[in-house]
């Protein structure tokens, strides 16, 4: 038997069945052991036990990654994540992370394991954006493991996530936007498209607007909720950030469009009578029975309308990009655009719409030249 010392007394010895044991004793008679097939491996395991002791991890739990991730999702994540985000994290953990890495002991997980996993997900057909999201889930979870004292370091921080190529933004031009708006006159979703194209609301924000958020007299719309679907049901959750809570002014034509929309909605309400569910939701934009609209269905109808007009295919979110681009092109200060869009920082606005700024700068310098030099 040989002995080494860490925070306690360490030893290795051979059992009658031929296997070797690494053991460390601690205060109050506590002891931790690890089995090894041979003496050399037993020495390695002893060194690991002593290292754990020196880092304060000796008596901390060392669950499998699967057990830890489920514990994190049950006990810690719900306090810090929005409900829809939590549902997304659960899906990633159960469908991807646990099947691939769940049997690995938490302290045995290495940066190389995570690198290999990310490479496999991309080769398996998932996008780099999705792989990046998986990495973010692991990084957040292992950060909690570090705070709980289960591990000495968050190994996910040592892994560089996949780089996602910035998507080129090509929203509708003002001329295309006018064609689109003219084509939807009388459509029951006309006001929804107009609000999104004018104010740059995110789809969930637009679908979550209630009539109590709108003042047609003062011509204002306040973003207080975002409509989300998870757990098989719709929810009106708080906006993504505090900056996302905002009140924006309505152009006079948009206020008129919302008045007409409210009149049409009242007609639908009278037509369906007791089947109307709108009193529960109070939504500005809803289906014929007053229930929330499906974002996916709204997008499909939007894209079908574009295709019928021969306009370029767009995501619904590109209406937000179009609104921001139009504002900037008209000389609206970047700070004001940031507040209208509900971005957290002006840097976000500048980064997303940087492609517009050089053209605006040229226009500004042309006007400067005309002012100073008369040409």
Burial 220-236 (b: 16+ CB within 10 A, else e): ebebbbbbbbbeeebbb
Which distant-in-sequence residues (6+ apart) come within 8 Å of 80 by Cβ?
A: none
| Six token digits for residue 105 | 């002991």
Cα 340 to Cα 173, 184, 245, 248, 314: the distances in Å are 20, 24, 10, 6, 21
Q: Which residue has the higher pLDDT, 303 or 153?
A: 303
| Residues 23-38 as b or e (16 or more Cβ within 10 Å = b) | bbeeeeeeebebebee
pLDDT more than 90, % of the chain: 59
Tell me which residue has tokens 């973010």: 136
pLDDT at residue 64 tops 80: yes
**Structure tokens of 20?**
């070797």
Q: Which residue stretches of 246-292 are H helix? A: 252-272, 278-281
CATH architecture classification, 65-158:
Orthogonal Bundle (1.10)
The pLDDT of residue 360:
65
The residue count for the chain: 375
Q: Of 207-221, 238-252, 317-331, 356-370, where does the model show the most confidence? A: 207-221
Taking 50 as the threshold, does the pLDDT of residue 7 lie above it? Answer: no
Q: How far apart are CA 46 and CA 266, in angstroms?
A: 76
Structure tokens at 233: 């049901």
DSSP characters over 127-195: -HHHHHHHHHHHHHHHHHHHHTTS-SS-GGGGSPPPPPPPPPP-PPPHHHHHHHHHHTTT-TTHHHHHH
The phi-psi region of residue 43 (left if phi > 0; otherwise alpha if psi is between -120 and 50; otherwise beta) is alpha
Would you state the pLDDT for residue 5?
A: 38
Confidence grade of residue 68 (pLDDT, cut at 50, 70, 90): very high
The full set of domain ranges for the chain reads 2-54, 65-158, 174-313
Helices (H), the chain: 39-54, 65-75, 77-80, 83-92, 98-101, 111-123, 128-147, 174-183, 190-199, 203-207, 252-272, 278-281, 295-309, 318-329, 334-341, 346-352, 357-373
Instruction: Judge whether residue 152 has pLDDT over 90.
Output: no
At 230 the pLDDT is 87
Class of residue 99 by CB neighbours under 10 A (exposed 0-12, middle 13-18, buried 19+): exposed
Stretch 255-281: mean pLDDT, rounded? 94
pLDDT at 12: 86
Local confidence band at 60 (pLDDT 50, 70, 90 cut-offs)? low
pTM of this prediction exceeds 0.75: no
Q: Is the pLDDT of residue 363 over 80?
A: no
Q: Which residue, among 181, 225, 157, has the nearest Cα to 319 in the 3D structure?
A: 181
Query: Is the pLDDT score of 375 beyond 60?
Result: no
| Average predicted confidence (pLDDT) for the chain | 87
User: Which residue, chain included where needed, has tokens 């637009």?
Assistant: 206
pLDDT band at 9 (very low <50, low <70, confident <90, very high): low
Angstrom distance (rounded) from CA 265 to CA 272: 11
pLDDT, mean of residues 349-353? 78
How far are the Cα atoms of 8, 92, 128, 232, 242 from residue 87, in angstroms, in the given order? 43, 9, 21, 11, 21
Determine the average pLDDT of the residues in 218-235. 93
- Domain 174-313 CATH assignment equals 1.10.443.10: yes
Crossing angle (nearest 10°) for helices 318-329 and 174-183? 130
More confident residue, 345 or 375: 345
pLDDT (tens digit per residue) in 95-151: 999 999 999 999 899 999 999 999 999 999 999 999 999 999 999 999 999 888 888
Do 65-158 and 174-313 show the same overall fold? Answer: no
Report the alpha-carbon distance of residue 97 to residue 65 in Å, rounded. Answer: 9
Residue 59 scores a pLDDT above 50: no
**Residue 56 pLDDT exceeds 70:** no
């Amino acid at each position: 038997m040989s002995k080494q010392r860490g925070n306690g007394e360490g030893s290795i010895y051979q059992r009658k069945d031929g296997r070797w044991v690494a053991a460390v004793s601690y205060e109050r008679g506590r002891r931790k052991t690890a089995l090894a097939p041979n003496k050399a491996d037993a020495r390695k395991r002893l060194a690991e036990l002593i290292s754990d002791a020196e880092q304060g991890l000796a008596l901390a739990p060392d669950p499998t990654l699967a057990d830890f991730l489920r514990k994190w999702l049950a006990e810690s994540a719900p306090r810090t994540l929005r409900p829809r985000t939590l549902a997304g994290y659960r899906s990633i953990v159960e469908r991807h992370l646990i099947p691939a890495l769940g049997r690995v002991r938490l302290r045995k997980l290495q940066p190389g394991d995570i690198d290999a996993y990310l490479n496999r997900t991309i080769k398996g057909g998932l996008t780099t954006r999705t792989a990046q999201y998986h990495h973010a889930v692991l990084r957040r979870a292992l950060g909690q493991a570090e705070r709980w004292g289960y591990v000495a370091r968050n190994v996910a921080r040592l892994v560089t996530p996949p780089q996602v190529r910035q998507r080129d933004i090509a929203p509708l031009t003002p001329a295309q936007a006018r064609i689109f708006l003219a084509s939807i006159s009388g459509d029951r979703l006309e006001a929804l498209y107009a609000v999104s194209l004018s104010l740059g609301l995110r789809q969930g924000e637009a679908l979550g607007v209630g009539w109590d958020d709108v003042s047609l007299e003062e011509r204002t719309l306040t973003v207080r909720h975002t409509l989300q679907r998870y757990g098989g049901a719709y929810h009106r959750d708080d906006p993504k950030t505090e900056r996302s809570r905002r009140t924006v002014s309505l152009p006079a034509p948009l206020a008129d469009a919302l008045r007409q929309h409210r009149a049409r909605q009242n007609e639908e309400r009278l037509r369906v009578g007791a089947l109307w569910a709108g009193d529960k939701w109070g939504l500005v934009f809803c289906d014929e029975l007053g229930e929330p609209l499906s974002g996916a269905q709204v997008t499909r109808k939007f894209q079908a309308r574009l295709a019928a007009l021969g306009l370029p295919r767009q995501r619904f979110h590109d209406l937000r990009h179009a609104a921001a681009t139009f504002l900037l092109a008209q000389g609206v200060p970047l700070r004001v655009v940031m507040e209208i869009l509900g971005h957290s920082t002006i840097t976000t606005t500048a980064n997303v719409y940087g492609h517009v700024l050089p053209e605006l700068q040229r226009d500004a310098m042309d006007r400067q030249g005309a002012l100073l030099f008369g040409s």
